[in-house]
Amino acid sequence: MALKVLMAVTAQRECNNGHKREETRYFISSLDATDRARKGNSAANMAVVRHIALNLIKADTSSKIGIKNRRLKAGWDNDYLEKLLMGK
């Protein structure tokens, strides 16, 4: 089986004592994302994920290349993709 979907979800919660906690959970799947994006709320959820990805790319100031080229670079360079996802 090949990896087809990789997702990171950041959840924030506040405990009764006022302490705030943030956790990032990572999910991987071998299911085809294109088959799942057409049922129920999946289309809206995928739009949110695409919007988050675009915001991460726009927030990167380490290079002066355009957004289209940053997207390509993230697809080709795993180190650059990790840098975008981890906010390094």
pLDDT at 34: 65
Return phi, psi of residue 64, to 5°: -105, 25
Summarised one tens digit per residue, pLDDT across range 17-59 is 888 888 888 888 777 766 665 667 777 888 888 899 899 999 9
* Domain locations in the chain as residue ranges: 1-32, 37-88
CA separation for the pair 39, 79 (Å, rounded): 33
Q: Give burial (CB, 10 Å; 0-12/13-18/19+) of 10.
A: exposed
